[in-house]
Amino acid sequence: MPTETSLHECTRYMMDSIRKICGEFGPRLPGSAGEKRCQEFLRDELAAAGYSPTLEPFPVSQTGFMAAPVIGGWLGALSIGAWWCDPRISMGLLLLAVLVFVPEIISYRHILTPLFPRHTSHNLHAALTPSGTIKRRIILAGHADAAYEWRYQQLFPGYFMHFGRTAVLSVAYLLATTLMTVVFCGRHTPADGFWWWVGISQFLALPGVLIAATFTRFGVVSPGANDNLTGALTSVGLARHFKQTGFVPENTEIVFAVTGSEEAGLCGADAYIQRHRHEWTDVETMFVAVDTLHDLDYLMVYNRDLNGSRHHHPGLCMLLQNALRRNGVDHKFGNVHVGASDAAAFTRAGLSAAALCGMDPSPAHYYHCRRDSWEILDEGCLFKTVQVLVSALEDYDGNGLPVAKQNGS
């Protein structure tokens, strides 16, 4: 097995590669030239290490998912003016805002994709074949792309969640007051009295819906060094390191993957599943999403995902949890309350998955903004992650999955 010294060398390789990608390849929006250059560089690194990597293209809408809150916000703002003309028009605009926001942001079902230009993104993968019979398979993956900057996360770190809550509550207030008006007044907007004051009160929601309307700063792309070149380089770094150290599992095929377009709403993971799931029926296959490795105090296994709606595989979660504890990290399971990781795409598709992440869920000050640069990489968290994953892979190869406790503690 790799030694502590060799894993430190692996960690330094990961950090050097992240610095190179951030400095030389340009912004890595889903389906962008920068994302492709990054994937091609990682493909060449895997090939140089002795693998036969595959780079697979797939179509993606670069903007639709990220535009959903903006579209919803502007529809909310228009509804305030429409209320004074005909409350029914206002109600229609608000229902359209909900129709856009809920499938895209809550369920990650991309109804806006046909309305935006398509680009070509890529998934990358390579496999380490075991020395004996393949009895099980595990896929380690991080994503290579980066997101448009979230305006209020950049401007007001530490208060970002308050802005999000204000936007959601503002739309909810507009929905409630507009529905009341439609029910009791129909198309008529009273010029005075109680309902006039209801209309005036809707202007209190204007700042909230304008927050949503200006939520995404489309002209600026996060460097994405931590989210999620750390995950992508963990996969590639371990693949390269296993070749260098001569590590070969006995009965486990290890697939090292780098997905594209996670920030477009898990599109890379969805495309990867669609193309390869028929190949995973031969033996037990597990997927581990490795995402945003910066905060060692929050390095944990996430057993719930996709806005908390999906439960990951309990045995795989326990495998990773046991590896964390063997390496001195003892945290409870995490829950992706807001957003999703690539593991959610696998679990949603009925496959076995879990996520290993290391980010302050507040969220962290660097999340989806220009502060997410290579200068703030945390070597200690990266080292601990590769140490944990090596331990988990050794355990899985020798013993398979543990019997998980039902309470998921």
Question: 3-state SS of 206-254?
Answer: HHHHHHHHCCEEEEEECCCHHHHHHHHHHHHHHHHHHHHHCCCCCCEEE
Q: Please count the residues of the chain.
A: 409
pLDDT of 191 strictly over 90: no
Whether the per-residue pLDDT at 190 is higher than 80: the answer is no
Q: What is the pTM of this model?
A: 0.93
Q: What are phi and psi of 281, to 5 degrees?
A: -90, -5
Predicted pLDDT of residue 386: 97
Q: Tell me: the pLDDT tens digits for 279-315?
A: 999 999 999 999 999 999 999 999 999 999 999 999 9
Which tokens belong to 409?
A: 């503690």
Predicted local confidence at residue 227, as pLDDT: 96
Q: What is the pLDDT of residue 394?
A: 96
Structure tokens at 301: 């296994």
- Give the pLDDT of residue 95: 97
Question: For position 408, what pLDDT does the model report?
Answer: 45
What's the pLDDT at 404? Answer: 67
Two tokens at 343? 């593991």
Burial class (CB in 10 A: 0-12, 13-18, 19+), 250: exposed
* Residues whose CB falls within 8 Å of the CB of residue 393, separated by 6 or more in sequence, listed in order: 138, 249, 252, 254
Output DSSP code: residue 405: P
- What's the mean per-residue pLDDT of the chain? 94
pLDDT for 266: 97
Check residue 187 and give its pLDDT. Answer: 72
Structure tokens at 212: 């949503």
- Which of 193-197, 252-256, 260-264, 377-381 has the weakest average pLDDT? 193-197
pLDDT value at residue 405: 59
Look up residue 106 and give its DSSP letter: I
pLDDT at 407: 43
Mean predicted confidence (pLDDT) in 5-34: 97
In the chain, % of residues over pLDDT 90: 90
Chain center to CA of 115 = 23
Q: Please tell me the chain's helix, strand, coil percentages from 3-state DSSP, rounded to the nearest 5.
A: 55, 20, 30
Residue 316 has pLDDT above 90, yes or no: yes
Mean pLDDT of 312-338: 96
pLDDT tier for residue 158 given thresholds of 50, 70 and 90: confident
Q: What value, to the nearest 5°, has the Cα angle with vertex 43 and ends 352 and 246?
A: 75
Q: What number is the average pLDDT over the span 215-237?
A: 96
Q: Are strands 352-358 and 284-293 parallel, antiparallel or unpaired?
A: parallel
User: What pLDDT score was predicted for residue 310?
Assistant: 96
Question: Quick check: 215 and 70 in contact, CB under 8 A?
Answer: yes
Give the model's confidence band at 1: pLDDT under 50 very low, under 70 low, under 90 confident, else very high.
low
3-state DSSP assignment of residue 265: coil
Interatomic CA distance for residues 278 and 9, integer angstroms: 37
Beta-bridge partner residues of 136: 252, 284
Structure tokens at 122: 């890529």
Cα dihedral: 12, 13, 19, 24 (round 10): 160
Whether the per-residue pLDDT at 221 is higher than 90: the answer is: yes
Q: What is the pLDDT of residues 230-285, one digit of tens each?
A: 999 999 999 999 999 999 999 999 999 999 999 999 999 999 999 999 999 999 99
- Give the domain 4-62+119-147+222-399 fold: Aminopeptidase (3.40.630)
Helix (H) or strand (E) holding 304: strand 299-305
- What is the pLDDT, as a whole number, of residue 373? 97
Q: What integer is the mean pLDDT of 43-53?
A: 98
